[in-house]
RNA sequence: GCGGAUGGCCGGGUGGCUGCGGGGGCUUGCCUCCGAGGAAAGUCCGGACUCCACGAAGCGACGGUGCCGGGUAACGCCCGGGCGGGGCAACCCGACGGAAAGCGCCACAGAGAACAGACCGCUUGGCCACGCCAAGUAAGGGUGAAACGGUGGGGUAAGAGCCCACCGCGGGGCUGGCAACAGCGCCGGCACGGCAAGCCCCACCGGGAGCAAUGCCAAAUAGGAGCCUCACACGGGCCGCUUCGGCCCCGGGGCUCGGGUUGGCAGCUAGAGGGCCGGCAGCGAUGCCAGCCUUAGAUGAAUGGCCACCCCGCCCGAAAGGGCGGACAGAAUCCGGCUUACAGGCCAUCCGCGCGA
RNA sequence: CGGGCUAUGGCGCAGUCUGGUAGCGCGUCCGUCUGGGGGACGGAAGGUCGUAGGUUCAAGUCCUGCUAGCCCGA
């Protein structure tokens, strides 16, 4: 859909306010996930984060993965919701434009770990990833 | 009070801040409304809805269902009834058609395993007499999951439905019931072991695929290949000296085939819909009528995060209080069932035992 | 959304159709041969047949429900 892509290019131009970063673009293509999987990664007790810098630039993008190992549908959905929430809270300030991030849920921990703790861990992991 | 049976219900609540999906509104970034389940699950049945195939009917193959009656859009579901089994009872359970249509199987043990037959025996007779032979017999013993009707009496050389009574079984009759079936009396003297969740027979049912169905739009490979047809108007080629005529390419239309990547829209949520309170018919499932309320539609896929109070459970504590936790589980076209999972709690009816009046 | 396959000793597989004895190879253990190792030979142990019911005298096998894993089509 050309119209939508044109709009995305506008917002990614750099002049947009911080509100754009409040809801980062969601990764939808399998190829994007595979590209991130080949890039750098950081492990934390609650989740795994992968990140890569896209050659073409653009906004912050983020994707979420919870495999069957995490549990049944309820456990997977709950883990993804918590990952989305910490991404929404942390990425606008800690994420870098032009980067793709993938957050991967882990069995048990992602759904049970303290929420504030996971936010700090994401900030620390992103710093390591960028550096 | 203790124990039990059946039917039904709830599945944490309230408020605040901040986010997500969808609808609507307008002043285009704000407001407002709605937003998971009883199983949304497993995908085991039955439908609706789309597309494909098909002249009708019959027969066959394959698959399914299987006591009778009713309910239903339909069902393998539900209700009522019958029969059989379990329980002191309330009540529960049952793949519950046919084994005299045919084939097959019944290991081991045992004399003998489906058609009769005789190991130990019993009785009679004979003899070279503590044994052998012949005839009769199938009551008793032993084996087995199962042994050719059972119990009692008569009878007999010993026995045997050989005869009798009761029970069982089979046949036909009457009565009650729509029926499954039940009851009553009559006849037969026993023939017909089990397995059909082995093949099979009988009766009934069933076309295939699935919302990634299907339809439309846009971009793009590239305006591809084949067949039929229309027209020889333009252009090219061939036959022909030319006009003209015919044929082929090309062109218009139709059909088929091949390659075939994304994106959007429709389908897409109001339907045999659910809930509450009534009325009528019915034992009931259910049907009819009336009123009110309610009604998720995502597509890398929406319900999250934090806080406060209350409820419940566990732990620590003398208490105040503190800490941890909240069953099973997440819509994907929709509906009716089935099956499976489920912390804790509530309500109603009924049964047995004990105590009291 | 629809369809199929598998589950048996530690590992890989037979046996299931056609019901009565669970078998094969590798591995493990013991012994012998060798000075020792390897190897060979001989012997032995080891299986709730995924799970819960049912049919049957009898179930790994037949039927039904469930669990786990794998594969295929749109």
Give distance CA A29 / C1' B121 (Å): 93
- A109's CB contacts (< 8 A; 6+ apart) are A45, A46, A47
Q: Mean pLDDT, chain A, as a whole number? A: 75
Quickly count: other Cβ atoms within 10 Å of residue A60's Cβ.
21
Q: What is the pTM of this model?
A: 0.76
Contact assessment for residue A98 and residue A53, using Cβ atoms and an 8 Å cutoff: yes
Chain B: positions less than 7 Å from a protein CB are 19-20, 36, 263-264, 300-306, 325, 329-331
Q: What structural domains and CATH numbers belong to chain A?
A: 2-130 (3.30.230.10)
Mean pLDDT of A46-57: 84
Q: pLDDT, tens digit, for every residue of A59-115? A: 888 888 888 778 788 888 888 888 888 888 888 888 888 888 889 888 778 888 888
């Amino acid at each position: 859909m050309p119209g939508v892509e044109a709009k995305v290019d506008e917002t990614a131009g750099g002049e947009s306010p911080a509100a754009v970063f409040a809801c980062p673009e969601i990764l939808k293509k399998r190829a994007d996930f595979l590209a991130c999987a080949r890039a750098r990664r950081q492990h934390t007790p609650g989740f795994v984060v992968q990140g890569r810098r896209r050659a073409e630039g653009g906004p912050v993008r983020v994707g979420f993965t919870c495999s069957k190992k995490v549990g049944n549908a309820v456990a997977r959905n709950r883990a993804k919701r918590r990952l989305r929430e910490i991404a929404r809270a942390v990425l606008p300030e800690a994420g870098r434009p032009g980067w793709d991030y993938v957050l991967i849920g882990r069995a048990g921990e992602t759904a049970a770990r303290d929420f504030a703790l996971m936010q700090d861990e994401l900030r620390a992991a992103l710093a390591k990833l960028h550096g």
